[in-house]
Amino acid sequence: MNLPQRLPASRLLGVIVAVLLAMTAVAISSTVVALDALSDTRARSVDRIEPAGRLVNELNRSLLDQETGVRGFVLTGQEDFLTPYLDGQKAETEAARSVRDLVGDVNGRVSRIEDLARQWRAEYAEPTVAGIKQTGPGAATAGDIERGKVLFDQLRAEVSALRTDIGGLARQAREDLDDAANVVLWLVIGMGVLLVVAIGGLSVLLHRLLVAPLASLAEHTRQVASGDFEHEIDADGPLETVMLGEDVNAMRRRIVQELALLDQRSAELQRSNAELEQFAYVASHDLQEPLRKVASFCQLLQRRYGGQLDERADQYIEFAVDGAKRMQGLINDLLAFSRVGRITRERTMIDLDELVGQVVGNFSDRVEETGATIVVGELPSVRGEATLLSAVFQNLISNALKFKGPSAPRITIGAERDGELWKFSVQDNGIGIEPEYSERIFVIFQRLHPKDAYPGTGIGLAMCRKIVEYHGGTIWLKTDVDSGTEFEFTLPVAAEDLVEVTA
């Protein structure tokens, strides 16, 4: 793993941000310099050269005013014609100074114009004006006029040359302005391209240094989360990603250790349960024969010698007979409980309407004795072992009849479809069960009432839970009933019924 990938992500991000800021600073500085050059070129063109061109025109106009004034005065001798001559001198001086301030003495032409203008006035205009004032109009000779014309033509040529030179400056300024604009344009384009390249490069860099390692770590973590706890995570990328990978590895190793310990304990528990069930089965089975003998001889004593001994002896014999009977019942229930799941038979389709009808028929005497009413709704057919499912309904109905209230028992049995399960309910109006005992009642040998109040072994509901779970369902006490007791349990819908529904 190279050095940059060992740096913390915060430092990598800091370096990337610093690079972006540096590139942005360089781009902004270059743009500012280019825009400043563009602004200077524009200011030179707009604020100096163009006004200088207009001032050259004013300079030319002031010279023409002087020439026109002198010519008018020569022809008429009127003093009014000297006004443009005098004003033209002032305008000439101001225009020449302004041109020099804006663009300097372009090729020395401003100075030559001033020199030629002074020469024209000294050699022609001033002498001519003085002569006219003395002799009157028409005093100027043809030679003087020609001399003045030659001098003024030189002056006009120099002004034209100055105009041409300033025009050249204007063209150069426009070219410089175009060049500056092109520089700014190419600089903006270059910055855009550079920015795109930089963003692309930094995106690739971020993907390589941050996103790709995180995606790889996420993929490894998902593989571990899916149950492959033996998969070693080799984290790459910045320091935080590597540390996170090491933490996940440490957690994975702890899970592997815990799972190994859990598997060991589960195996021990299964072995212990199997041994317990085997012990219960063997013990109860082996107790059957001697207990049967004890019960038989106790009953024989009761029949043969009952009434021949004193009252206490008869009571003792009765206790022995009753104890032997209860012990036989307990052993039989324990044997039945231990057989659930150990001795398996082929599961067949069972019509629960018929099965529950048979179970209800078995309680006909008890129903007649208690005046009970048993209402059985339409029940489905399920796949299972008939004897075991019969035991579930028999235990629940027996409890409903046993734990009755002051009024005649009323038992309602129904079923409804819930997806891939059938949900059954057995409801009665008996004395009910407190919600706090909703789990305890399913533990073997757990009783909520004394034996003399309600007979039984405390195995019935534990047997129901074991049978229902053996068939792939669950059973529970419904705790939100107003009165009486309601048990609910589920059994899987038969595969044949699922196929029919799907079709």
* Residue whose pair of structure tokens reads 């740096």 in the numeric block: 7
Higher pLDDT, 463 or 27: 463
> Are 3-215 and 238-339 the same fold in CATH?
no
Most confident region among 134-138, 152-156, 325-329 by mean pLDDT:
152-156
Rounded to whole angstroms, what are the CA distances from 192 to 31, 35, 195, 345, 360? 12, 16, 5, 80, 89
238-339 has which CATH code?
A: 1.10.287.130
pTM score, two decimals? 0.45
Residues 6+ apart with CB under 8 A from 154: 116
Q: Spell out the CATH class of 3-215.
A: mainly alpha
Mean pLDDT of 146-162: 85
Rounded to whole angstroms, what are the CA distances from 440 to 138, 437, 478? 148, 5, 14
* Helices 50-76 and 109-120: angle between axes, nearest 10 degrees: 10
Residue ranges per structural domain of the chain: 3-215, 238-339, 347-502
Closest by alpha carbon to 362, among 398, 411, 333?
Answer: 398
CB 168 within 8 A of CB 56: no
Closest by alpha carbon to 33, among 169, 174, 191?
Answer: 191
pLDDT band at 491 (very low <50, low <70, confident <90, very high): very high
What topology is assigned to 347-502 in CATH? Heat Shock Protein 90 (3.30.565)
Mean pLDDT of 326-355: 72
CB 34 within 8 A of CB 190: no
| Token code pair at residue 317 | 């014999």
Residue 37: other Cβ atoms inside 10 A: 17
Residues 6+ apart with CB under 8 A from 72: 78, 81, 84
The mean pLDDT of the chain is: 79
| Token code pair at residue 280 | 């219960």
**pLDDT tens figures, 417-426:** 988 899 999 9
What pLDDT score was predicted for residue 227?
Answer: 72
From the centroid of its chain, how far is CA 104? 69
Distance CA 310, CA 189 (A): 125
What pLDDT score was predicted for residue 503?
Answer: 45
What pLDDT score was predicted for residue 57?
Answer: 87
What pLDDT score was predicted for residue 139?
Answer: 57
* Residue whose pair of structure tokens reads 């050249």 in the numeric block: 168
Distance CA 191, CA 198 (A): 10
Query: For a pLDDT cut of 70, what percent of the chain falls above it?
Result: 79
What pLDDT score was predicted for residue 314?
Answer: 73
Most confident region among 57-61, 83-87, 349-353, 402-406 by mean pLDDT:
349-353
Higher pLDDT, 30 or 472: 472
Residue 393: other Cβ atoms inside 10 A: 21
What pLDDT score was predicted for residue 469?
Answer: 92
